[in-house]
A and B are shown apart, each in its own frame.
Chain A
Amino acid sequence: MNDRLAQPFQQPKTREIAERMAEDVKGRSLWADARRRFVANRAAMVSVVVLTLIVLFSLFGQIISEYDIETIDWDVLGNVATAGKPSIENGHYFGFDENGRDLYNRVVQGSRISLAVGVIGALVAVIVGTIYGATAGFIGGRVDSIMMRLVDIFMSIPYMFVLILLLVVAGRSITMIFVGIGLTAWLDMSRIVRGQTLSIKNREFVEAAIAIGVPTWRIIIRHIVPNLLGVVVVYATLLVPQMILTESFISFLGLGVQEPFTSWGALLSEGTKTMNYGTLWHLAFPLFFFVVTIFCFFFIGDGLRDALDPKDR
Chain B
Amino acid sequence: MNVQSPLLSVRNLKVWFDIKRQGAMPWTPTDTLKAVDGVDFDLMPGETLGIVGESGCGKSTLARAIMRMVPAEAGTVLWLGDDLLQLNHHDMREHRKEMQMIFQDPLASLNPRMTIGQIVAEPLKTHHPGLSPSEVKDRVREVLDRVGILPNMINRYPHEFSGGQCQRIGIARALIVKPQLIICDEPVSALDVSIQAQVINLLMEIQEEMGLSLIFIAHDLSVVKHISTRVMVLYLGNVVEISEAAQLYRSPGHPYTEALISAVPIPDPTAEASKEVMILDADLPSPLNPPSGCVFRTRCPIAGPECAETKPPLSDRGNGQQVACHKR
Query: Contact between B150 and A27 (Cβ–Cβ < 8 Å)?
Result: no
Query: Contact between B126 and A204 (Cβ–Cβ < 8 Å)?
Result: no
Chain A residues numbered 214-254 whose CB sits less than 8 Å from any CB in chain B: 214-215, 218, 222-223, 226-227
Query: Contact between A23 and B96 (Cβ–Cβ < 8 Å)?
Result: no
Chain A residues numbered 184-234 whose CB sits less than 8 Å from any CB in chain B: 203-205, 207-215, 218, 222-223, 226-227
Chain A residues numbered 251-304 whose CB sits less than 8 Å from any CB in chain B: none
Question: Is B115 an interface residue, CB under 8 A from the partner?
Answer: yes
**A26 to B153, alpha carbons, bound, how many Å?**
8
Q: A211-B67, A212-B96, A213-B96 are in contact. Are A25 and B153 (CB under 8 A)?
A: yes
Q: List 19 A-B contacts (CB under 8 A).
A: A24-B153, A25-B155, A25-B156, A27-B160, A28-B156, A28-B157, A28-B160, A29-B113, A30-B112, A30-B157, A205-B108, A205-B109, A207-B69, A208-B103, A208-B173, A211-B96, A213-B93, A213-B96, A227-B112
Tell me the minimal C-beta distance from B155 to chain A in angstroms: 4
CB-defined contacts of A208 to chain B, threshold 8 Å: 101, 103, 109-110, 170, 173
Tell me the minimal C-beta distance from A96 to chain B in angstroms: 54
Q: A21-B150, A207-B103, A211-B96 are in contact. Are A26 and B122 (CB under 8 A)?
A: no
Question: Is B123 an interface residue, CB under 8 A from the partner?
Answer: yes
Query: Contact between B157 and A27 (Cβ–Cβ < 8 Å)?
Result: yes
* B contact residues, range: 20 to 34
Question: Is A22 an interface residue, CB under 8 A from the partner?
Answer: yes
Question: Is B78 an interface residue, CB under 8 A from the partner?
Answer: no
Question: Is B34 an interface residue, CB under 8 A from the partner?
Answer: no
**A283 to B113, alpha carbons, bound, how many Å?**
47
Please give me the residue from chain B that is nearest to A20 by CB atom. Answer: B152
Please give me the residue from chain B that is nearest to A214 by CB atom. Answer: B126
In order of increasing CB-CB distance, the 8 nearest A-B pairs are: A213-B96, A27-B156, A204-B109, A226-B113, A204-B108, A205-B111, A211-B101, A27-B155
Query: Contact between B110 and A205 (Cβ–Cβ < 8 Å)?
Result: yes
CB-defined contacts of B126 to chain A, threshold 8 Å: 212-215, 218
Main secondary structure of the interface of B (DSSP, over half): loop
Q: A26-B155, A28-B157, A222-B114 are in contact. Are A211 and B69 (CB under 8 A)?
A: yes
**A227 to B108, alpha carbons, bound, how many Å?**
13
**A261 to B97, alpha carbons, bound, how many Å?**
61
Tell me the minimal C-beta distance from A198 to chain B in angstroms: 16
Please give me the residue from chain B that is nearest to A22 by CB atom. Answer: B152
Interface string of A18-45 (1 = CB under 8 A from B): 0001111111111100000000000000
Tell me the minimal C-beta distance from B230 to chain A in angstroms: 23
Query: Contact between A23 and B152 (Cβ–Cβ < 8 Å)?
Result: yes
Question: Is B159 an interface residue, CB under 8 A from the partner?
Answer: yes
**A226 to B114, alpha carbons, bound, how many Å?**
9
Known: A27-B155, A222-B122; 17 extra A-B contacts, CB below 8 A, are A24-B153, A27-B160, A29-B115, A203-B108, A204-B104, A204-B108, A205-B109, A205-B110, A205-B111, A208-B101, A210-B69, A211-B101, A212-B122, A212-B126, A212-B173, A213-B92, A214-B122
Query: Contact between A204 and B103 (Cβ–Cβ < 8 Å)?
Result: yes
Kindly name the residue among A205, A207, A227 whose own CB sees the greatest number of chain B CB atoms within 10 A: A205
Please give me the residue from chain B that is nearest to A205 by CB atom. Answer: B111
CB-defined contacts of A223 to chain B, threshold 8 Å: 111
Query: Contact between B111 and A227 (Cβ–Cβ < 8 Å)?
Result: yes
**A31 to B96, alpha carbons, bound, how many Å?**
32
CB-defined contacts of A218 to chain B, threshold 8 Å: 126
Main secondary structure of the interface of A (DSSP, over half): helix
Interface string of B139-152 (1 = CB under 8 A from A): 00000000000101
Q: A208-B173, A213-B93, A227-B113 are in contact. Are A24 and B152 (CB under 8 A)?
A: yes
Please give me the residue from chain B that is nearest to A227 by CB atom. Answer: B113
A204, A213, A222: the one within 8 Å of B105 (CB): A204
Query: Contact between B115 and A27 (Cβ–Cβ < 8 Å)?
Result: yes
Query: Contact between A213 and B127 (Cβ–Cβ < 8 Å)?
Result: yes
Please give me the residue from chain B that is nearest to A218 by CB atom. Answer: B126
Query: Contact between A21 and B109 (Cβ–Cβ < 8 Å)?
Result: no
Chain B residues numbered 181-232 whose CB sits less than 8 Å from any CB in chain A: none
CB-defined contacts of A227 to chain B, threshold 8 Å: 111-113
Tell me the minimal C-beta distance from B134 to chain A in angstroms: 14
**A210 to B127, alpha carbons, bound, how many Å?**
13
Please give me the residue from chain A that is nearest to B154 by CB atom. Answer: A24
CB-defined contacts of A25 to chain B, threshold 8 Å: 152-153, 155-156
Question: Is B48 an interface residue, CB under 8 A from the partner?
Answer: no
CB-defined contacts of A31 to chain B, threshold 8 Å: 113
Interface string of B76-109 (1 = CB under 8 A from A): 0000000000000000110011001101110011
Query: Contact between A21 and B152 (Cβ–Cβ < 8 Å)?
Result: yes
CB-defined contacts of B97 to chain A, threshold 8 Å: 213
Please give me the residue from chain B that is nearest to A226 by CB atom. Answer: B113
CB-defined contacts of B103 to chain A, threshold 8 Å: 204, 207-208
Please give me the residue from chain A that is nearest to B95 by CB atom. Answer: A213
Tell me the minimal C-beta distance from A19 to chain B in angstroms: 11
CB-defined contacts of B154 to chain A, threshold 8 Å: 24
Tell me the minimal C-beta distance from B161 to chain A in angstroms: 10
Please give me the residue from chain A that is nearest to B118 by CB atom. Answer: A222
**A208 to B158, alpha carbons, bound, how many Å?**
14
Kindly name the residue among A29, A203, A222 whose own CB sees the greatest number of chain B CB atoms within 10 A: A29
CB-defined contacts of A205 to chain B, threshold 8 Å: 108-112
Please give me the residue from chain A that is nearest to B67 by CB atom. Answer: A211
